[in-house]
Structure 1
Amino acid sequence: MHKSSPCPAHVVATRACALGVVLLASAGARAADADAVKWTFGGFGTAAVSHSDNRQADFSSSVLKATGAGYTDAWSPHVDSRLGAQLGVTVNKQWSGVVQVITEQRLDRSYRPIVEWANIKYQATPDLSVRLGRIALPVFLAADYRKIGYAYPWARTPVEVYGAIPISNSDGIDVSYRWRANGVKFVSQAFAGGTTLDLLNDNEVKSRKLTGVSTTAEHGALSGRISAFSSEVTIDLAEYLFDGLRRFGPRGESLADQYEVERKRFNALTLGATYDPGNWFAMAEIGRFTTHSFFGKSITLYSSAGYRFGAFTPYIAFAGAKARSSTRDPGLPLDGLPPAQAASAARLNEGLNYLLMSVPAQTTASAGVRWDVRRNIALKLQYDRVRPDERSRGTLFNVQPGFSARPRVNLASAVLDFVF
Structure 2
Amino acid sequence: MQHTDSPSRMSRFRIPFALSALALAAATCAAQEAPAESAASFTVSGFGTLSMVHKADRQSDFVSSVLNANGAGATRVNSINPDSRLGVQFTATSGQWTAVLQLISEQQITNTWRPIVEWGNIKYQATPDLALRLGRIALPMGLAADYRKVGYAFPWVRTPVEVYGAIPITNSDGLDLSYRWNRGDVKNVTQVFYGRNNQKVGENSRLQARHLAGLSNTVTWGAATARVSYLTTELTVDLAHEGFVTYRMFGPAGAAIADQWDADHKRADSLSLGLAYDPGTWFAQGEIGRASTRSYLGDRHVVYLTGGARLGEFTPYLAFAASHPRGATATAGVPLTTLPPAVRPTAAYLTGELNTILRHIADQHTLSAGVRWDLRDNLDLKFQVDRIQPRGQSYGTFVNTQPGFVPGHAVTVATAALDFVF
TM range (shorter): over 0.9
Change (3 A) 1:49 1:375: same
Give the aligned partner of residue 97 of structure 1: 99
Give the aligned partner of residue 65 of structure 2: 62
Given that 1:108 and 1:200 are in contact with CA atoms closer than 8 Å, whether structure 2 keeps it comes out as yes
1:18 to 2:21 alignment: no
1:37 to 2:23 alignment: no
Give the aligned partner of residue 199 of structure 1: 201
Instruction: Describe the superposition over 1:42-62 as per-residue Cα deviations: whole angstroms up to 9, x where unpaired.
Output: 100000100112211111111
* 2:140 alignment partner, SS class: coil
Given that 2:196 and 2:212 are in contact with CA atoms closer than 8 Å, whether structure 1 keeps it comes out as yes
CA distance in 2 between partners of 1:104 and 1:41 (Å): 19
CA distance in 2 between partners of 1:31 and 1:337 (Å): 68
Give the aligned partner of residue 397 of structure 2: 395
Give the aligned partner of residue 137 of structure 1: 139
1:315 to 2:317 alignment: yes
**Structure 2 residue corresponding to 1:81, chosen from 77, 84, 89:** 84
Instruction: Describe the superposition over 1:152-174 as per-residue Cα deviations: whole angstroms up to 9, x where unpaired.
Output: 00000001001232211110000
- Over aligned residue pairs, what C-alpha RMSD do you find? 2.0
Given that 1:160 and 1:321 are in contact with CA atoms closer than 8 Å, whether structure 2 keeps it comes out as yes
Give the aligned partner of residue 331 of structure 2: 329
CA distance in 2 between partners of 1:382 and 1:145 (Å): 20
* 2:253 alignment partner, SS class: helix
* Equivalent residue runs for 1:292-311 within 5 Å: 292-311=294-313
The one-letter code matched in structure 1 to 2:39 is A
CA distance in 1 between partners of 2:34 and 2:217 (Å): 29
Which runs of 5 or more residues in structure 2 are unaligned?
Answer: 8-22
Given that 1:221 and 1:276 are in contact with CA atoms closer than 8 Å, whether structure 2 keeps it comes out as yes
Q: What percentage of residue pairs aligned between the two structures are identical?
A: 50
TM value normalised by structure 2: 0.92
The one-letter code matched in structure 1 to 2:208 is K
Give the aligned partner of residue 234 of structure 2: 232
Given that 2:130 and 2:177 are in contact with CA atoms closer than 8 Å, whether structure 1 keeps it comes out as yes
Given that 2:282 and 2:310 are in contact with CA atoms closer than 8 Å, whether structure 1 keeps it comes out as yes
Change (3 A) 1:126 1:33: closer
CA distance in 2 between partners of 1:197 and 1:90 (Å): 29
CA distance in 1 between partners of 2:359 and 2:34 (Å): 53
Size of the aligned set, in residue pairs, is: 403
Instruction: Describe the superposition over 1:248-275 as per-residue Cα deviations: whole angstroms up to 9, x where unpaired.
Output: 1110011011110111011100000100
Which runs of 5 or more residues in structure 1 are unaligned?
Answer: 1-12
CA distance in 1 between partners of 2:338 and 2:132 (Å): 62
**Structure 1 residue corresponding to 2:271, chosen from 240, 260, 269:** 269
Given that 2:136 and 2:174 are in contact with CA atoms closer than 8 Å, whether structure 1 keeps it comes out as yes
Give the aligned partner of residue 109 of structure 2: 107
* Equivalent residue runs for 1:111-122 within 5 Å: 111-122=113-124
**CA positional deviation for 1:349:** 1.0
The one-letter code matched in structure 2 to 1:60 is V
Given that 1:327 and 1:391 are in contact with CA atoms closer than 8 Å, whether structure 2 keeps it comes out as no
TM value normalised by structure 1: 0.92
**Structure 1 residue corresponding to 2:417, chosen from 393, 415, 418:** 415
Given that 1:328 and 1:391 are in contact with CA atoms closer than 8 Å, whether structure 2 keeps it comes out as no
CA distance in 2 between partners of 1:336 and 1:165 (Å): 38
**CA positional deviation for 1:401:** 1.5
